[in-house]
Amino acid sequence: MRFSIVVISFNQLDFIKRLTSQLLNQGFPTAEYEIVLVECASTDGTCEWLSGVIDSRMRPLVLDVPSNRSFARNRGIEAARGDIVVMVDGDHTVQDNFLEAHWKLHEQRECAVVGKSDFAESKAHAALNAYLNGGGAAKLPTGSSLPGRYFLTRNCSVPKRILLQIGMFDESFDRWGGEDLDLGVRIENAGVPIYASTEALAIHHHFRSLDELMTTVRAYGRDGVPLLLRKHPRLFRELNLDRSLANPFEPNRTPTPVRALFRVAFLAPVYWIILAMARMLSRVRLPRSVLDYLHLRQYTIGFMESDYYKSSYTT
C-alpha cells in the first residue's frame, strides 16, 4: 500500500465528514491508500458516525486517553499500513488529485513533501489570509527544496520508515505550535530532502481573528520556542530572535544598536498602534512587513516571558 492518510478528529464532525468523503473519492487506485482517522474523545457525535461508516479504507483509531496533537499523530503513524504517511488537518478540503500530487514527488525519490495549505476566501480576514497563504513553502514553486523550518503538518507526506527512524513527533509539545517545525528540522538533519508541492493543495476552513492569532503566537513563544531551542539552538537565528536578543549559541549577526532599536519597536505602545492599523485594514491586503513585525514581536515577547529565557539568557 502506498499511502496512509492520518487525520486527527476532535469535535469537528461536519469538517471530518466532508474531508473523508473527498479523500475516499480520490483519482488514485483505491487499493493503494487508507485513512487512519484518530478520534480524540470528541463529544459531537463523531464516534457514533464512525460506527456507521462502511468502507474498508476507513480505519478509525479511537483514543480513550487525553491526547495532544503529537500523541494522536504518533498513534496514527504507528497504525499506518502504507509506505508513505500523509497528514492533513480535519478542517481542510481537498480536490480529487490530492494524493496523485503528493505521489508525483515521492515516485521520483525518497523525500518529504509539504503541500500547499491555503486559507479559504474570507472578506473579514482578507489581509491576514493573504499573508498566511503567501508564507513559508508557498513562496516557492513545486519541487523546490525547503529548509526544515518550513515543514507544516497540516498538509504533508513522509515515508513511514523515515518517521520511525527519527522518532516521530515529540510528545512534549503539548500546546499549539512547534511540533511540526521540530519534526521538519529532524527530517532535514537526517538528510531527507523536503520538497514543496503547490499542486497538492488543501484549503483551510478554520479562521482566527488577528487578535486571536496574536494571543496564540505569544503563547507559542512562551511554551513552544523554549522546547525548540533546547533541541535545535540554530533556530534562535532562523526564528529571527537575534534581531532583538543576544544570541547565546553563535556570534551575533545583528549589531547591538540594531537589537536595541528592535527592542524599542517591540514596546507595547508601538505594538498597539501597529496592531490597531492592521485591524482597520483587515479587509484589504497589508504589507507583509506589518504582519511580519506583529508575529516576530509576539513570539519574541512570549519567549522573554518564559522561565527558560529568564533563567538562561542575558540581553
- The pTM score is 0.92
Q: Do residues 133 and 250 share a domain?
A: no
Q: Give the Cα separation of 223 and 214 in Å (integer).
A: 14
User: Residue 194: its pLDDT value, please?
Assistant: 96
On whether both 189 and 76 belong to a single domain, the answer is yes
Residues 198 and 224 in one domain: no
**For residue 37, what is the domain's CATH number?**
3.90.550.10
60/191 same-domain check: yes
12 shares a domain with 160: yes
Task: Choose the final residue of a domain: 158, 186, 204.
Answer: 204
Arithmetic mean of pLDDT over the chain: 91
Residue 314: the pLDDT is 54
Range in 5-9, 121-125, 160-164, 187-191 with the lowest mean pLDDT: 121-125
- Lowest mean pLDDT of 71-85, 116-130, 173-187, name the range: 116-130
Rounded Cα–Cα distance for residues 221 and 303 (Å): 4
User: pLDDT-derived band of residue 285, with 50, 70 and 90 as boundaries?
Assistant: confident
Whether the pLDDT of residue 144 is over 80: the answer is no
Q: Residue 124's pLDDT is what?
A: 77
By CB neighbour count within 10 A (0-12 exposed, 13-18 middle, 19+ buried), where does 31 fall? exposed
Task: Give the strand pairing for 84-88 and 155-159.
Answer: antiparallel
> Do 197 and 74 reside in the same domain of the chain?
yes
Tally of structural domains, the chain: 2
- Please state, in angstroms and rounded to a whole number, the distance separating the CA atoms of residues 88 and 156: 7
pLDDT tens-place string over residues 44-96 = 888 888 888 888 899 999 888 767 889 999 999 999 999 999 999 989 999 99
Give yes or no: residues 142 and 254 share one domain: no
Residues 59 and 119 in one domain: yes
Question: Which of 204, 222, 255 is the last residue before a domain boundary?
Answer: 204
Residue at which a domain ends, from 188, 204, 220: 204
Residue 153 shares a structural domain with residue 217 = no
**11: pLDDT confidence band, cut at 50, 70 and 90?**
confident
Give the range of the structural domain holding residue 282, as residue numbers without chain letter: 210-312
